[in-house]
A and B are shown apart, each in its own frame.
Chain A
């Protein structure tokens, strides 16, 4: 069951668009994640696909059939909600069977389906219990079983794991992924957690400001973010974004500090934003030529995040191995060792990706060393 969105828009008053021009084709059996900060319209988009909220503009096709104006039950899909949406007065079995009964399926068929679904989520022993007697993880599994029991091949999930604790979330993540593979479901998964999206999804749509910022696989989004929003949204810790000014003669604009980048000649003079991931920066604490001061150190076990302030007062996050012996207020030398990205000044466009500064011979293109 493929799902095709063509220029889908949503507005409540005719002029302010909550979503505008969303177009994507989701293939059969694909795990598609919609990710974005709260309030970006991702749940609204999911509800429009489900048919719970009318679509203002555009067309929605499921299996090449126009379903834009069909009521939800005729779209043959199921939905799993953040707060489970279980019926507290029904036991687990009846909760799973609820939709099937509403669709007037015969009772032996309902029984087989319910038992099969409960088996898949390991809840067979709990079938007589009420939702109130289950833990959060078990409740969410009941909700999953309800989706599995239906014969619909499209499943929509609205932040299904955000009410669970971190450990359980990790476990459920792989469980959901396995179930999706096993059943061949086309799954649309809404989340605000970029890690969840990256670890689970085949493709990700990044939503912000009512628009789809980028639709691509996790690795492509991470490697070539299409703008600064996507770049800073994906990856922990966040990418460093630093303003630079390139002069006509391509000479460094700010020579007082010396964080050096290699920049291709093809760039015109002007203002740009340069993005460097914390793991593409390195700290040299023995160098006598320093350019930054350590302001904070977050210890994370295998590595630490060092917050440093460049001498021109720009803040940097740098990932270092935990074996360092840095301390706050220590002066250090920071240098770029990995990839960095050049964005247009407004952050809307990725202009190019560069290899790190490695003494001038990182790339074939003629390059200039540039400092900020």
Chain B
């Protein structure tokens, strides 16, 4: 073996050992969580990692004795509606920032971008007063309406739309496509990947919302999962850790499903060959 190949091999071994160590660190808490959800709470309290009573009992308890299914349903409604709304509104505003020519367009876009600089926490109090005055508190609307659109989504799709070659618009114009037709027949399919990415992103960020729903919801009927999970813990004087773990496992399932299907689209290069 030559010197070069040897060095290459050592490098590979180093790289992979580092990757393996990182993987272990990241995945261990996750696996531990899943594993403890199968153990009886009595054993967890003792700090045991092994038990003779491995079962799905915790899951049954979680589903039957807590409103976890209701939380899941709430989150699903909120996240799906937010996702569709963001995809539609962000893509439409991005379209206008790219394909429509009007006075002050670029200035408006910068104002749009500027709102991204404000941290959400800084907006919480004024937003709260607004939704309270609108009488939206403790309802799905309060968790959807403020998130119907996002500056980030508009920005991301605008960048994607800018990649569309100008000739496609000209070809569309020659066939007499209206803006609306060009939007759904060409722009959306062309930018499919970015649109899916935004959909996945907005779904997950809505699913993982914690602060805002905590402030604006007061009943299990509207509470989403992340806050519901917190609720489970404080409701009990004696914390049923096995059941809480099982609930946590249940609520990450939709996230995993979204990622699993999303991955298929992220991988395939659908946009090859539009132009040379």
Interface residues, chain A, CB within 8 Å of chain B?
Answer: 47, 50-52, 71-74, 77-79, 81-90, 98-99, 102-103, 130-134, 136, 139, 163
Contacts and interface: CB of A to CB of B under 8 A. Distances in A.
Interface string B170-198: 11011111000100011001101000000
B165 A99 contact: no
Contacts of A99: 174-175
B168 interface: yes
Interface string B243-276: 0000000000000000000000000001111111
Contact of B273 (A72, A78, A98, A133): A133
19 contacts: A50-B170, A51-B174, A71-B173, A71-B176, A73-B173, A73-B176, A78-B174, A81-B171, A83-B167, A84-B276, A85-B170, A86-B274, A87-B168, A87-B274, A88-B272, A130-B272, A133-B273, A139-B276, A163-B276
Contacts of B167: 81-85
B273 A52 contact: no
Contact of A73 (B174, B272, B275, B276): B174
Given A83-B275, A84-B167, A102-B177, 8 more contacts: A71-B176, A72-B174, A83-B165, A85-B167, A89-B190, A102-B176, A103-B176, A134-B273
Of all A-B residue pairs in the complex, the 3 with the closest CB atoms, nearest first, are A73-B176, A132-B273, A132-B272
B71 to A, nearest CB: 38
Contacts of B186: 87
Interface residues of B, number: 23
Contacts, number: 83
Query: Which of A52, A74, A82, A130 has most chain B Cβ within 10 Å?
Result: A52
Contact of A72 (B165, B173, B272, B275): B173
B211 to A, nearest CB: 39
Nearest to B186: A87
A329 to B, nearest CB: 44
Contacts of B177: 102
Contact of A47 (B165, B170, B171): B170
A50 B174 CA distance: 7
B191 to A, nearest CB: 10
B168 A85 contact: yes
A78 to B, nearest CB: 7
A84 B275 contact: yes
B170 A79 contact: yes
A98 B270 CA distance: 19
A87 B190 contact: yes
A88 B273 CA distance: 6
A85 B175 CA distance: 13
B170 A73 contact: no
B171 A85 contact: yes
B189 A89 contact: yes
A131 B175 contact: no
A77 B173 CA distance: 11
Contact of A52 (B170, B181, B190, B275): B170
Contacts of B275: 83-86
A3 B207 CA distance: 60
B174 A88 contact: no
A77 B270 contact: no
A88 B192 CA distance: 11
Contacts of B272: 88, 130, 132
B183 to A, nearest CB: 13
A88 B189 CA distance: 9
Given A78-B174, A79-B174, A83-B165, A102 B181 contact: yes
B176 A88 contact: no
A89 B170 contact: no
A89 B171 CA distance: 15
Contacts of B168: 85, 87
Nearest to A73: B176
A105 to B, nearest CB: 11
B268 to A, nearest CB: 11
B176 A83 contact: no
A8 B174 CA distance: 20
Contact of B171 (A74, A79, A88, A103): A79
A79 B169 CA distance: 12
B175 A102 contact: yes
A88 B270 CA distance: 8
Contacts of A73: 173-176
Contacts of A89: 189-190, 192, 270-271
A319 to B, nearest CB: 35
A87 B181 CA distance: 14
A110 to B, nearest CB: 13
Contacts of A51: 173-174
Contacts of B189: 87, 89-90
B190 A88 contact: yes
A289 to B, nearest CB: 55
A77 B175 CA distance: 9
A74 B176 CA distance: 8
A102 B173 CA distance: 11
A342 to B, nearest CB: 44
A325 B168 CA distance: 54
A77 B174 contact: yes
Contacts of A103: 175-176
Contacts of A72: 173-174, 176
A315 B173 CA distance: 50
